[in-house]
Amino acid sequence: MNAGQFIKQKTQEVGLSLPEVAERCRIGRGTIYRYVRNEYPIPATVEEQLGAVLNLTKAEKSQLRSLIEDAQIHRPMRKAFEIIDKLVFDEGSAPRSTLNEGVVLLLDKDRYVLSMDELCDRMLRHADKPEFTCCLRFAQGIGELFFEQIEPCIMRLLEAVPGATVEHLVSSPRGDATKNIQLAVGILPFLQYRNYKVFYTEEENLFEAQRMFSQSFYFSTSFIDEGVLRGENFMYSVRNTTEGACFCSSDPLFHEFVTGEFYDIRKQYHNDLQAMSTFNVGLDFFADLESNYPSAILNPDFHITHIPSPVISEKLRGLDEATKQSLADSQSNKPVKQHTVDARIETMIASIERRRSFALQRPQTSICSKEGLLAFVQTGRRCDHLKWVPPYTKDEMRRILEDVRDRNLDDSDEFRFYLTDMPILANGYTLEAYLGHGIAVQYNQKPERARSDNYLFMTHSFVADVLYRYLTEYLPATHVISQDETTAYLNHLIETYLT
């Protein structure tokens, strides 16, 4: 609950309307609504008047004071937090728009192109030719009209064209929380693709990037046509908010020149991403993170570190032999012998237990949703449940819920577990912030998607710190139920579904 929600709730309890409260506090009607929306800081004089008008007790006045102080702490990052809110609470990803207005002049036989889709069609007209490859290169920030226009083209390349590569240069200036979070959220759908490469810098606007690639992108294709290697190059430049010009050339010297310029610029950027395609590949990597950094996790249901070690070890050792063999073979280029199969299962168990043991030693905040936990107890499967692991049994799920409940009630345990009434992460992502280091993303919506990775880590301490504050300070103050309500809900699930 935030200060605005508190005021609105107490207003209803005393039977007043917000305009009536505003009149009695001698402030404008618009002002009281801005206080409720947390747009304005509440002055001490108004806080005192609210206490009198709403008949607040001493404890309630103290609670309001605490909520006002929280709002003041969060205000500098409010826009960044609101961007994360949309990612967390919106139902799935917003539809990506295409540019269907304005005229783009394509300087190739004076042909006019009316939409970005049509331009993309033209660029990919040779996609069925032998050895077809294509590359999209651009340097642009996030949240601007230019980037929004080409997003559908980027996704189309990544999803449907095996020979496509996208190289993207972005600016993420340290200290600008809104721009950095806008950047992270903007590129989140693309980061899982192995053929999308993002490079970033903390410089605001590098002159070199602005000189050639500001408000423009370069698209090159190559293919074999009648036994000859051919290519086409498209340099598209936006002239204003509705139109642009595209230069088309098949001259290889033009391609060499533009590509060389791009790579010279790219030297000033860096890429600190680590992608992992399977669960077992990242176990030791994330265990090391758990051992060194306080973490905050956003997950619809229980995270792997919430599963008691005996439960997960019994689960994996209890897999049937065919499943164990299939799992071991999937990690090798040739069939694995039986004794090696068992050894690999034990190695995986040890890695999971190691990660949980480290998580128990460091402060950890976890936010789940009531909807996510309900789905878990009804199906026995977590949102990132491994396909080769059977659903958890009632007994196993009860042990998980009881462990989380008891740890959350233990004041000596630096574990904080929160629940939201609202569904979260309908887009299928789960997020982890490691304070002072970076963020981890798990993509659960299409685990069998080709040319993509399911686990990603971005080393970016500033983005990690903003997300960590959102998860540990802002979200608990605005969108979660109380500890007593959380305990009651966990007990309700145990009694209703697991006994």
Rounded alpha-carbon distances, angstroms, from residue 461 to 176, 458, 464, 476: 13, 9, 5, 22
Token duo for residue 21: 């409260």
Both 266 and 282 in one domain: the answer is no
User: Do 120 and 21 belong together in one domain?
Assistant: no
Assign residue 142 the CATH number of its domain.
3.30.870
Q: What are phi and psi of 206, to 5 degrees?
A: -65, 135
Residues 437, 459 share a domain = yes
Q: Which of 89, 112, 132 finishes a domain?
A: 89
Count of domains for the chain? 3
Pair 159, 111 in one domain: yes
Q: What is the CATH number of the domain that holds 52?
A: 1.10.260.40
Same domain, 267 and 292: no
Together in a domain, 239 and 195: yes
| CA distances for 273 relative to 124, 283, 309, 498, angstroms | 29, 16, 30, 41
Contact (Cβ atoms closer than 8 angstroms) between residue 184 and residue 439: yes
Task: Find out whether 326 and 388 touch, Cβ atoms under 8 Å.
Answer: yes
Q: Are both 413 and 430 inside the same structural domain?
A: yes
In a domain, 94, yes or no: no
> Which structural domain range is residue 287 located in?
275-497
| 285 and 264 in a common domain | no
Residue 285 and residue 142 share a domain: no
Answer whether 212's CB lies under 8 Å from 261's CB.
yes
Residue 460 and residue 321 share a domain = yes
96 belongs to a structural domain: no
- Model confidence pTM above 0.75: yes
Question: pLDDT digit of tens for each residue in the chain (499 aa)?
Answer: 678 778 888 888 889 998 898 889 988 877 888 788 766 778 888 888 898 989 999 898 888 888 777 776 666 788 899 899 999 998 544 444 333 333 444 554 445 555 667 778 878 888 899 999 999 998 876 656 667 777 888 888 888 888 899 999 888 777 788 888 988 898 998 998 889 999 988 776 554 555 667 667 888 999 999 899 998 888 877 655 455 667 788 888 989 988 998 888 888 888 889 888 777 778 889 999 999 999 999 999 999 999 999 999 999 899 888 887 777 666 555 666 666 778 888 888 999 999 999 999 999 999 999 999 999 999 999 988 877 889 999 999 999 999 999 999 998 999 999 999 999 998 888 999 999 999 999 988 664 455 677 889 999 999 999 999 999 988 887 888 889 999 999 999 999 999 8
With residue 277 as reference, give the H or E element that holds it. Answer: none
Which residues on adjacent β-strands are paired with residue 368? 419
Cα torsion for 459, 460, 465, 466, to the nearest 10°?
-120
Do 282 and 264 belong to one domain? no
Q: How far is CA 311 from CA 55, 172, 299, in A?
A: 51, 42, 20
Pairing of strands 455-459, 273-276: antiparallel
Closest CA to 316 of 289, 291, 287, 283: 283
Which of 277, 275, 283 lies closest to 346 in space, CA to CA?
A: 283
Pairing of strands 164-171, 196-201: parallel
